[in-house]
């Protein structure tokens, strides 16, 4: 079975879970061809991401000539298919995003379709229901293979109507939701009539890569926060909590791993609260360095305002470290008081209180939280189980495709797929 994975930008330091997922499928005998619309222009810090970048076929980056030539060939050799794709792109543009953007999606889809046919790919899977899924849908409409997508949230649900999520779900062979919350959002924006084609398949880890440290959590006074520095993650509120905690809980320190647009604001808050001696900003680090840092910490903190289900929470729990996080999206399906602390987003007093609980907890309590967390990840977030689920879903979609006679290479996505609200 040969499939394509298509994403917007790859590899990205914060999307290691996609690389792991593809590798797990390959370990089960699935041939995975990697495609991305754009190349990430920030330096990659993990050797496995660097290696994956070399295996990725980029559709848009530096490829304007290739896009235009593919469009001209398609218009000349398959004008009816090209017209169907152009019509759908125009209908999607009417729901939001503009004509220029969707004209680009059409060019990308034509080029992508030629790649799929050249490599004999039977199915396309996309992560996130945004622009890359639009490309897969348009390619499908022009006679390409079936496609599916994994929805994560939160941003894709904020623009669901203008991005044509209902159309994309109607045209897909199936959709994957990473949590029950995410499934509810797909039903909300995509239509309850598709409930039987939405599978909940939670992101997974290979626990053999996450070996808990011999050092008990109770012996550490380091808290760690890992993630892109951005408003959604809420790291800008941590310096105030640290300033409050230093009055009664010192000594301790907070390490922030990651980078992003919120870094200047975080640095300003650190200076304003006078906690530069307690907070260290390390920037992006390799997966191995992140694992080692979390494994030696007392706990991980992630005070997010908007999330899907953060992989770093899984990683910390797999390393038997408790987590302090917020009641956002799918997080409560993973975290409760038995493996950490979970507080309302934006509640500074609650966040400070939760961190105080962790700093004051005895070693036995922290160890029990860690064991509970790792057991929960093993039960619900096993990477091998995720790969098996996806492999079976791909195989079923390909089998259904083969059972339906589609004359002249045409593919239909159903009337609903073409009916985008204007």
What are the sequence ranges of the domains in the chain? 2-204+382-418, 207-380
Residue pair 166/194 in contact by the 8 Å Cβ criterion: no
pLDDT of 133 > 80? The answer is yes
Give the model's confidence band at 404: pLDDT under 50 very low, under 70 low, under 90 confident, else very high: low
Q: Between 25 and 12, name the one with better pLDDT.
A: 25
For 177, the token pair is 């939701």
pLDDT tens sequence across 148-174 = 999 998 889 988 888 899 999 999 999
pLDDT of 106 > 80? The answer is yes
Q: What percent of the chain has pLDDT over 70?
A: 95
- Does residue 49 have a cis bond before it (omega within 30 degrees)? no
pLDDT of 403 > 80? The answer is no
pLDDT of 64 > 50? The answer is yes
Angle between helices 47-54 and 16-27 (to 10 degrees): 70
Residue 223 pLDDT? 98
pTM: 0.89
The mean pLDDT value for 215-237 works out to 96
Could you give the CA distance from residue 141 to residue 420 in angstroms, rounded to a whole number? 14
Residue 192 pLDDT? 87
pLDDT tens sequence across 268-317 = 999 999 999 999 999 999 999 999 999 999 999 999 999 989 999 999 99
The mean pLDDT value for 373-379 works out to 97
In 3D, which of 107, 99, 97 has the Cα closest to residue 130? Answer: 97
Tokens 């598709």 locate to: 194
Residue 413 pLDDT? 43
pLDDT tens sequence across 78-87 = 999 999 999 9
pLDDT tens sequence across 185-224 = 999 998 889 999 999 999 999 999 999 999 999 999 999 9
pLDDT of 412 > 70? The answer is no
CATH 3.60.15.10 is the classification of domain 2-204+382-418: no
Residue 419 pLDDT? 36
Residue 422 pLDDT? 30
Q: Is 275 helix (H, G, I), strand (E, B) or coil?
A: coil
Residue 250 pLDDT? 82
* CATH number assigned to the domain with residue range 207-380, chosen from the 4 options 3.40.1010.20, 3.40.50.300, 3.30.830.10, 3.40.50.2000: 3.40.50.2000
Any residues with CB less than 8 A from the CB of 328 and at least 6 apart, and which? 154, 304, 305, 306, 307, 345
Mark 152-179 as b/e (b = at least 16 C-beta within 10 Å).
Answer: bbbebbeebebbbbbbbbbbbbbbbbbb
pLDDT of 262 > 90? The answer is yes
Give the model's confidence band at 418: pLDDT under 50 very low, under 70 low, under 90 confident, else very high: very low
Residue 42 pLDDT? 84
- Check for a shared fold between 2-204+382-418 and 207-380: yes
In 3D, which of 136, 205, 143, 138 has the Cα closest to residue 175? Answer: 136
């Amino acid at each position: 079975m040969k499939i394509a994975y298509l994403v917007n930008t790859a590899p990205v330091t914060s999307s290691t879970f996609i690389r792991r997922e593809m590798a797990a499928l390959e370990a089960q005998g699935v041939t995975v061809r990697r495609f991305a619309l754009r190349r990430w222009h920030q330096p990659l810090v993990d050797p496995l991401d660097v290696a994956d970048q070399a295996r990725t076929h980029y559709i848009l980056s530096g490829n304007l000539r290739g896009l235009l030539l593919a469009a001209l060939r398609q218009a000349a050799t398959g004008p009816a298919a090209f017209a169907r794709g152009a019509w759908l792109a125009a209908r999607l543009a009417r729901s939001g995003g503009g004509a220029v953007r969707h004209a680009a999606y059409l060019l990308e889809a034509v080029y992508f379709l030629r790649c799929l046919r050249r490599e004999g790919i039977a199915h396309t899977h996309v992560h996130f229901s945004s622009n890359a899924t639009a490309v897969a849908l348009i390619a499908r409409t022009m006679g390409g293979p079936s496609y599916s997508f994994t929805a994560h949230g939160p941003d894709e649900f904020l623009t669901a109507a203008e991005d044509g999520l209902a159309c994309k779900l109607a045209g897909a062979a199936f959709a994957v939701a990473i949590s029950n919350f995410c499934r509810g959002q797909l039903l909300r924006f995509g239509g309850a009539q598709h409930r039987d084609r939405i599978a909940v398949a939670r992101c997974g880890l290979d626990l053999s890569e996450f070996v808990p440290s011999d050092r008990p959590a109770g012996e550490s006074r380091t808290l760690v926060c890992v993630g892109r520095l951005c408003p959604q993650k809420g790291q800008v509120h941590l310096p105030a909590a640290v300033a409050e905690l230093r009055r009664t809980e010192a000594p301790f320190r907070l390490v922030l791993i990651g980078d992003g647009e919120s870094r200047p604001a975080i640095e300003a808050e650190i200076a304003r609260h006078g906690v530069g001696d307690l907070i260290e900003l390390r920037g992006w680090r390799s997966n191995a360095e992140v694992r080692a840092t979390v494994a030696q910490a007392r706990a991980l903190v992630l005070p997010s305002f908007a999330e899907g289900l953060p992989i770093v929470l899984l990683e910390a729990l797999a390393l038997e470290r408790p987590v302090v996080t917020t009641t956002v999206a799918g997080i409560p399906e993973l975290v409760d008081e038995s493996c950490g602390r979970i507080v309302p987003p934006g509640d500074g007093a609650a966040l400070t209180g939760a961190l105080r609980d962790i700093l004051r907890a005895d070693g036995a309590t922290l160890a029990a939280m860690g064991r509970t967390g790792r057991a929960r990840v093993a039960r619900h977030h096993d990477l091998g189980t995720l790969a098996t689920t996806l492999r079976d879903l791909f195989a079923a979609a390909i089998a259904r495709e083969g059972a339906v006679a589609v004359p002249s290479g045409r593919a239909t996505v159903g009337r609903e797929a073409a009916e985008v609200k204007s």
